[in-house]
Chains A and B, each alone.
Chain A
Amino acid sequence: MKTKLTILIALILLLAALAYITADFFFSGQDTSSNPFDYKLEDLRRSDSLETAYREIHHFTPGLDQISGITTDHGDRIIVSGQGGVEVYTPEGILISKLPAEGFVRCIAIAPGGKMYLGIENYIVIMDPAGKIVGRWNPVSEKSILTSIAVHRGNIFVADAGEKTVYRFDSTGRLINRIGEKDTLSGIPGFVVPSPWFDLGIGRDDELWVVNPGRHSLEAYTPDGKLISSWGKSSMHNDGFCGCCNPSNFAVLPDGSFVTSEKGIERIKVIRPSGELDCMVAVPSQFEPGTKGLDLAVDSHERVLVLDPWKKQVRIFVRE
């Protein structure tokens, strides 16, 4: 009897121990889902989202496989570039024409006569308005990554993220001078371009504006390369530019204000010519996390056209 009782107690203890081990193994109270070291990027995207002064009124999806560049012409037609060529749309987003080109057309600019300058990898292709290729300028450097083009008064300005410089060509493709290379005597800090987003554009007073992304600033130059002015501030907040290298793209409004886009914290804002924040065009919640390369254009009605490569859309915003 005594032996049986001992065996019974031993069995009960054994079962209890097994139950405890099983429960501990499978249902331990340790909360493995919480992260005491969490860096809440989502909060950062949310907390800095102010009311926007712009409203998205329309969007359309270009037919190109991969989209990269956007601009407008004097008739407010929208020109989109990307893998395999260029597409031309009405201001309402209705396709007018498809102009094929070999390679990935990263950037595009339109001359007053309608001639198009296409930046493909490290060289430039020139197209007439009908889409016929009428010229090709060979690379200045094998390291070149052409990221932006502007045409103004017979000058063709080209931003090269690979060589961290801006080229000024004449209409025949002759290199006249380089702009923005480090020159301490002239007070030129030099471009810092950690990633291939390096934009330029023409300002209200015909000056050339170039992003210096690693310094979170925009710099104004004369065509012959004299530094006129610069502005910019490093900040995760809306009053500055965030991350390693921003703004990624910009466009200039008729009053001289700048529309800028950023990556890291995806946002688009309007900055006054004095460099102060005017308002937000779009906030991070309106983009997919991780969106990069939000190229910008404005038309004569001051609509802001945003090329969203992640959503593969052209998105049109108007000020309310």
Chain B
Amino acid sequence: MKPSEKHKPMNRRAFLRAGVQVSIALGIGGMGVLAVRRSGTEKLVWQLDPAKCTQCGRCATHCVKNPSAVKSVHVYAMCGYCNLCGGYFRPETKTLNTGAENQLCPTKAIKRTFIEDPFYEYTIDENLCIGCGKCVKGCGAFGNGSLQLQVRQNLCDNCNQCSIARNCPSEAWSRIPANTPYLLKGYGKEPS
């Protein structure tokens, strides 16, 4: 190399070319790093904590899905299989039978099945459940809280900004890892 070439100043065209090349290289590198980081991040889903839930009814009215993606789920391991179920019967019920006038659920989404005297099993029909939480409140007040509200992940759109979470008065909503998508309380933790 000649001494005069060594200190030759870069002209504008060369400078721009070099700048574009560096920018492209940095951009591609940055995207690569971002892709690698994203692939290592856990997927998150929305869920509500039954321990904080106050059954305000907003899960039924504020979800973008209609009916809501929030459903009442039953932790069978906790259930007392009661005859007088506080989550199934209206308080003024005179006779403990499946008459529509006796049921607390506004959509008759809970099925009552005789097991053996004096035990009955209660199952939720999720096609009918609107996630209002009336049964959850009754079960918590008069039973042992085996009925709990949860987002059904197969129904949830997993919106970036959950409409229910934004309006929840008890801050029961949070994003949790998708590989453990339920937050049931009590023992058993087996949704229906």
A→B interface (CB under 8 Å): 32, 35-39, 41, 44, 189, 192, 194-195, 214-216, 234, 236-237, 242-245, 264-265
Contact = CB atoms under 8 A, between A and B. Distances in A.
Contact of A215 (B118, B132, B133): B118
Nearest to B105: A37
A214 B118 contact: yes
A245 B104 contact: no
25 contacts: A32-B58, A32-B62, A35-B57, A36-B57, A37-B133, A37-B134, A39-B134, A39-B137, A41-B137, A41-B141, A44-B91, A192-B119, A214-B80, A214-B82, A214-B83, A214-B118, A236-B92, A236-B93, A242-B142, A243-B143, A244-B84, A245-B80, A264-B86, A264-B142, A265-B142
B19 to A, nearest CB: 37
Given A32-B58, A234-B96, A37 B82 contact: no
A243 B142 contact: yes
B142 A234 contact: no
B109 interface: no
A22 to B, nearest CB: 16
A244 B82 contact: yes
A215 B119 CA distance: 10
Contacts of A237: 92
A268 to B, nearest CB: 17
Nearest to A242: B142
A24 to B, nearest CB: 14
- Chain B interface bracket (under 10, 10 to 19, 20 to 34, 35 or more): 20 to 34
A37 B106 contact: yes
Contacts of B141: 41, 243, 264
Binding site secondary structure of chain B: loop
Contacts of A38: 57
Contacts of A215: 83, 118
Contacts of A243: 84, 86, 141-143
A195 B132 contact: no
B138 interface: yes
Contacts of A189: 117-118
A39 B60 contact: no
Interface in B109-137: 117-119, 132-134, 137
A195 to B, nearest CB: 6
Given A243-B86, A244-B143, A39 B80 contact: no
Contact of B60 (A37, A41, A265): A37
A264 B62 CA distance: 30
A180 to B, nearest CB: 15
B192 interface: no
Nearest to B132: A37
A192 B92 CA distance: 24
B167 interface: yes
Contacts of B93: 236
A264 B134 CA distance: 15
A41 B137 CA distance: 9
Given A32-B167, A39-B55, A264-B86, A195 B80 contact: yes
Q: Name the 7 nearest CB pairs between A and B, nearest first.
A: A194-B80, A35-B57, A37-B132, A243-B142, A244-B82, A264-B142, A236-B91
A143 to B, nearest CB: 15
Nearest to B135: A39
Contacts of A244: 80, 82, 84-86, 142-144
B112 to A, nearest CB: 14
Interface string B86-100: 100001110010000
A195 B58 CA distance: 31
Contacts of A216: 84
Contacts of A32: 58, 62, 167
A35 B144 contact: no
A302 B117 CA distance: 37
B56 interface: yes
A242 B84 contact: yes
Contacts of A236: 91-93
A248 to B, nearest CB: 12
Contacts of B153: none
Contact of A234 (B60, B62, B83, B132): B83
B158 interface: no
Given A37-B106, A194-B80, A216-B84, 18 more contacts: A32-B58, A32-B167, A35-B58, A37-B134, A38-B57, A44-B91, A192-B118, A195-B144, A214-B82, A236-B93, A237-B92, A242-B142, A243-B141, A244-B80, A244-B84, A244-B142, A245-B80, A264-B141
A35 B58 CA distance: 7
A266 to B, nearest CB: 11
Contacts of B58: 32, 35
